[in-house]
Chain A
Amino acid sequence: MSSGSSNTPTAKMQPTQKTEVDPAQASKPTSNPQPTLLEEDDEFEDFPVEDWAQEDTDVPGGTTHLWEESWDDDDQNEDFSKQLKEELKKVEATK
């Protein structure tokens, strides 16, 4: 990127009360989706736009239940559980 192309964000950067963004600009991030090269994308690149509105962060489906807080697995038919059960029978048998 050149210093010239950085001028746009610089000029837009003045924090003001209003946060609405030109919709044409706000939709820019995906106008050209990049192929997902996992080995290359570990750098957090500059965003193509400087600011966006709260609505632009809303994801379809909302943000409810993104994390499992109670995940204890009582499924005794799961492979490891089955083998564990067999192994514990051996312990009981030796008593």
Chain B
Amino acid sequence: MPPVGSNSSALDSFLTEIIASVRGKNGGRITELIQLDFDSLTPDRQKPYADLNQELNRNFPPANDGGLVSRCRNALPQDEFGTFSTTFSESIIQYFRYLRDFTTADNQSKASKIRQLTSQCVTALGDSKYGVIMIPIVLSFSRTLAMVATNLDRNPALIRDSNLPATQNTEGAPGKVSFVEDAANVLRDAFIKCLAGSPGVQRTSRPSADDKRVGIYLTANSCLKLLIQCRKLRNAQQMFSSIDAQSPPLSYYPAAQRVTYLYYLGRYHFANNHFRRAQAVLEKAYEQCHRQAIKHRRLILTYLMAANICLGRLPSPALLSRPEASEIGARYVPLCKIIQSGDLARFQQYLDLDSDSGQWFLKRSVLLQLQDRCEIIVWRSLIRKTFLLSGYMGEEKKVPFLRLQNVRHVASWALKRLKDNGAANSNGLHTTSNGTNYVDPEFAGIDAAINETGFDPESGQYLDEYIGQHVPAVDQPEDPPTMAEVESVVLSLIQQGLLRGFALHTNPRFAIPGSQKAGGPMRAGFPPVWSVIESKQTEAAVPGLVEEANLGSEGGRVVRIFGARPAVA
């Protein structure tokens, strides 16, 4: 109820305009009105908010919060606005609280108020009748919340400097979620509401401005940004499944949203060792990115290069000469050279956690994937080189072959060479130097235990006659790798199709039959890595990426069931 003689009240005129906009379903106008960052406004636009701030503190200070609540609730009569009256007036109350307290609040409580406000607006978005007016508001606040949360997380000083105790633990105490993760959950709710859309709307129709589906990728991107920030990207799995099941094609959305989404989707697949999927979507992101957005292109390329290298495709000089490739190229080019050379030890050294390069890759969350996936490609190069230099190239009716003893020798030499160098500087090759005589603490006293108990490790039984009879095995003085390890690598490469031929065990060899027809043993035995992986590619669609073509042809997809909604009169 407007108080008597309140014609000059800033709050009243503000509320009047808001309610008129609700009646006119003008969400854009409300978004303009409920500003959060007053500093960015021109001085003449700042004044009304300064007036409102003063008036709220004068008439409705925190001690009289109840007065503010009833003032706002009365402004939106339930008779007219139904259930939206409650959810929307709560949003407006949250906004006025923010406006009232922002001059005195610290960064964290401001952020927390923005989180509450966004959450309340998401609730209002769910209203079947008036929810549509919340679309631009929720989209705008989602971006702001993602930005504020990221900023706080990256600059802990913003919290520490405050007078209030920092209650949020960004490391995430057990059972307690960090502010970033909490904010991500709010944005996920917004995403779910957007994805649900409106009843009766066809999945393949282009979303219009008053269709909640317009916000699917904007809210998803804000949420994904925060999930990456709090290192919980794996939590995005459900979002990608929901997008697969319900979203319109990504191509219906503006370029900025497409590229951002493809970047996060690519990072998700890369983090889950799906390099082919990652490569496919990151390539789309890279191709669709604005050519002048160098910083974005560099970030995309960081992961696109990693994914391609894991798949056996190396950046070309043309790519490396692009401006966005200059800095990352400086890190990836040495890695590519090592992969080409087959220098196992340099590979381990270059990706060692203690090295500068290892730290660089770690910081970008690509280190473990490169270590794990590229090692086998380095082995392939080493075996290939060893074949080239010491293999039997074959004659008519005689099959070319390589003695695996040669491979074992050069691998051992390469690793030892580095170990000797590594001893000089303390950053040695941990995996190898410790790996040779490493005994798990669980088995530390095994020999003494066997002697005492008569345990037979072969059968798992306790035999009395074994007690006191056990002779501990003497450590093999052989340098790693053992022949068994070399054989295992060769067999793994054959199994993956990266070596073509067969292995002999009794006189250990790798042999390449049919090489004459295939243009010699090198071509026959060592197909290019990328061509092998590419030929095994059977997956047509990448999970999380909705393309128009896939929707049309796959009538049997589960999506159809989700899409089937009762017709609305």
Contacts and interface: CB of A to CB of B under 8 A. Distances in A.
Nearest to B28: A11
A61 B291 CA distance: 12
Contacts of B225: 43-44
Q: Is the interface of B mostly helix, strand, loop or mixed?
A: helix
Nearest to A36: B327
B290 A44 contact: no
Contact of A88 (B31, B313, B410): B410
B37 A2 contact: yes
Contacts of B295: 34, 36, 41, 45
A46 B388 contact: no
Contacts of A50: 254-257
A66 B28 contact: no
B110 interface: no
B144 A6 contact: yes
A30 interface: yes
B315 A9 contact: no
Given A13-B218, A41-B295, A3 B255 contact: no
A42 B328 CA distance: 12
A49 B385 CA distance: 50
Interface in B122-150: 136, 139-141, 143-144, 147, 150
Contact of A91 (B154, B287, B342, B405): B405
A50 B136 CA distance: 14
Contact of B385 (A3, A5, A51, A81): A81
Contacts of A68: 313-316
A14 interface: yes
Contacts of B291: 56-59
A93 B413 CA distance: 16
Interface string B267-304: 00000000000000000000111111111101100000
A3 B528 CA distance: 52
Nearest to B229: A43
B147 A69 contact: no
B141 A88 contact: no
Given A10-B31, A65-B316, A67-B313, A15 B214 contact: yes
A41 B260 contact: no
Contacts, number: 200
Interface residues on B, range: 35 or more
Contact of A15 (B252, B288, B409): B252
B88 interface: no
Contacts of A72: 340, 381, 384, 522, 526, 528
B74 interface: no
B382 to A, nearest CB: 8
Interface of A is mostly: loop
Contacts of A69: 312-313, 528, 530-531
Contacts of A33: 294
Contacts of A10: 28, 31, 136, 139-140
A71 B292 contact: no
Contacts of B406: 88, 91
A44 B260 contact: yes
Interface string B222-261: 0001000000000000000000000000001111110110
Contact of A80 (B28, B287, B293, B343): B343
Contact of A52 (B264, B290, B384, B522): B290
A3 B409 contact: no
Contacts of A52: 255-256, 290
A38 interface: yes
Nearest to A94: B409
Contact of B254 (A12, A41, A70, A83): A12
B28 A87 contact: no
Interface string B28-61: 1001101111111100000000000000000000
A66 B341 contact: no
B409 A57 contact: no
A25 B504 CA distance: 66
Contact of A30 (B136, B254, B294, B313): B294
A4 B36 CA distance: 8
Contact of A61 (B252, B288, B318, B528): B318
B315 A30 contact: no
Interface in B369-385: 381, 384-385
Given A43-B150, A66-B318, A84-B410, 12 more contacts: A3-B37, A7-B140, A15-B252, A16-B206, A29-B292, A42-B364, A45-B295, A52-B255, A66-B319, A68-B315, A72-B526, A85-B389
The 5 closest A-B pairs by CB, nearest first: A2-B37, A51-B254, A30-B292, A47-B256, A14-B209
Interface of A: 1-7, 9-16, 26-27, 29-30, 33-34, 36, 38, 41-47, 49-52, 56-59, 61, 63-74, 76, 78, 80-81, 83-85, 87-88, 91-92
Interface of B: 28, 31-32, 34-41, 136, 139-141, 143-144, 147, 150, 154, 206-209, 214, 218, 225, 252-257, 259-260, 263-264, 287-296, 298-299, 308, 312-316, 318-319, 322, 327, 336, 340-343, 346, 363-364, 381, 384-386, 388-390, 405-406, 409-410, 413-414, 417, 522, 526, 528, 530-531
